[in-house]
């Protein structure tokens, strides 16, 4: 179970780092605050999940050690969350697909409290947040997809760009598709045809984007080992 928890924590951590890059760069003040809060939600889940995963290792590792002292080959996040933000439409497509994955998964984990009470408690908190993330991304996807000709074009391009990376997440969770299809229909967007399916993130094989992200995220901790606030 610890490997699964680690993957969940890595998904949340890297998603948080990417979303935090929007701070002060949102299309308006309200959205700037919303994206920052979503990033903080993901970071909070990451801290709890990495703390749990680290406590189950032998020898145990702290959440900081897992976040700041691993190389990219040791991370188990899906490839989608490490991709660059792109424009606002790309970020919303990524958030829509990620939340459509996280929400039912957290619901499943929260319901299985007898199997893993510690993980279930974390999931029960995270599921409420992921429901908001899904609603937020869906509203923006509809607003852009069913908006102007230009916003429709950019939202469709974003869905097309990110779609291949969804297969790494959803092969074992087919229920997500009905949620996404409903949003795409309301957005007047077409679901891309299945084709190229990049994978490898769960096995530590990542894009070059992750190593660059980690270099920025880990620089302070590596420059000052053991630093505390």
pLDDT at residue 114 in the model: 85
Is the Cβ–Cβ distance between 32 and 23 less than 8 Å? yes
Residues of the chain with pLDDT under 50: 1-3
Residues 6+ apart with CB under 8 A from 139: none
Query: Whole-prediction pTM value?
Result: 0.94
Residue 65: what pLDDT? 94
pLDDT score of 1: 41
For 107, what's the count of Cα atoms within 13 Å in the CB-facing half-sphere?
Answer: 12
Q: What is the pLDDT of residue 2?
A: 42
* Angle (deg, nearest 10), helices 149-170 and 88-111: 40
Of 61, 52, 46, which Cα lies nearest the Cα of 8? 46
Q: For 2-223, CATH number?
A: 1.20.1260.10
φ and ψ at residue 56, rounded to 5 degrees: -95, 0
């Amino acid at each position: 179970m610890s490997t699964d928890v680690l993957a969940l924590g890595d998904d949340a951590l890297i998603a948080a780092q990417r979303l935090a890059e929007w701070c002060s760069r949102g299309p308006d003040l309200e959205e700037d605050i919303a994206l920052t809060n979503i990033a903080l939600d993901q970071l909070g889940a990451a801290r709890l999940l990495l703390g749990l995963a680290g406590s189950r290792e032998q020898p145990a590792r702290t959440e900081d050690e897992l976040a700041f002292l691993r190389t990219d080959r040791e991370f188990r996040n899906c490839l989608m969350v490490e991709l660059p933000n792109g424009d606002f439409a790309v970020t919303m497509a990524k958030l829509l697909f990620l939340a459509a994955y996280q929400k039912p998964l957290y619901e499943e984990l929260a319901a299985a409290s007898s199997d893993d009470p510690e993980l279930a408690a974390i999931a029960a908190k995270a599921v409420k947040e992921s429901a908001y993330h899904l609603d937020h991304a869906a509203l923006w996807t509809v607003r852009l997809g069913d908006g102007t000709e230009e916003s429709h074009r950019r939202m469709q391009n974003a869905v097309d760009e990110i779609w291949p990376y969804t297969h790494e997440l959803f092969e074992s969770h087919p229920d997500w598709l009905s949620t996404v299809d409903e949003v795409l229909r309301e957005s007047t967007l077409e679901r891309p045809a299945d084709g190229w399916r990049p994978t490898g993130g769960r096995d530590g094989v990542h894009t070059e984007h992750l190593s660059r992200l980690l270099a920025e995220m880990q620089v302070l901790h590596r420059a000052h080992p053991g630093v505390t606030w």
